[in-house]
Chain A
Amino acid sequence: MNEILTHPSRIKVPYTWSAGEALSRFFKALRDEQKILGSRCLKCRKVYVPPKKTCGTCFVECSEWLEVGPSGTLVSFSQASYPSPAHRVLKPLFGLIRLEGSDTSFLHMLGETNLQSLKIGVKVLPVFAEKRTGSILDIAYFKVVS
Chain B
Amino acid sequence: MEPVAIIGVGQTAFSPNRKDQTYADLVYEATAAALSDARLSIANIDNIVTASNDFFDGRTISSMAIGDACGAAFGGGKSISTVEGDGTFAAFYGLSRILSGNYDTTLVVAHSKSSEGDLRLLTNAFFDPLTERLLGLDWVSAAALQARVFLREKNIGNIECGNVIVKNRANGAKNPKAHLRKPLSIDEALRSPLLASPLKETDVCPSSDGAAAIILASKSFAQKKSERPIWVRGVGVCADAPLGERNLAESKALRLAAHQAYQMAGIDNPTAQIDLVELSEQFSYQELLWLEELNYRNLSRVNLSGGCLSAHAWIVSGLVRMIEASLQLRGQASNQISNAKRAVAHGQYGLCGQSHSVWVLEN
Contact = CB atoms under 8 A, between A and B. Distances in A.
Interface of A: 4, 6, 9, 11, 15, 17, 19, 23, 27, 48, 50, 56-57, 75-82, 84-88, 92, 94, 96, 104-109, 115, 120, 135-137
Given A9-B58, A107-B137, A19 B130 contact: yes
Given A82-B195, A85-B118, A107-B137, A23 B130 contact: yes
B135 A88 contact: yes
Contacts of A104: 244-245
B132 A107 contact: yes
Contacts of A82: 120, 140, 195-196
Contacts of B197: 78-79, 81, 115
A84 B138 contact: yes
B309 to A, nearest CB: 18
B120 A85 contact: yes
Contacts of A27: 130
A80 B140 CA distance: 8
A57 B241 CA distance: 8
Given A4-B20, A87-B136, A78 B244 contact: no
B134 interface: yes
A39 B195 CA distance: 35
A87 B20 CA distance: 32
Contacts of A56: 241, 245
B144 A78 contact: yes
Nearest to A81: B194
Interface residues of B, number: 37
Contacts of B120: 82, 84-86
Given A15-B129, A108-B135, 20 more contacts: A4-B19, A4-B20, A50-B131, A76-B145, A78-B141, A80-B144, A81-B193, A82-B120, A82-B196, A84-B136, A85-B120, A86-B120, A86-B138, A94-B136, A96-B145, A96-B243, A107-B135, A109-B135, A135-B130, A136-B135
Nearest to A9: B58
Nearest to B145: A76
A9 B136 CA distance: 22
Contacts of A85: 118, 120-121
B152 interface: yes
Nearest to A95: B145
Contacts of A120: 148-149, 152
A131 to B, nearest CB: 15
Contacts of B196: 78-82
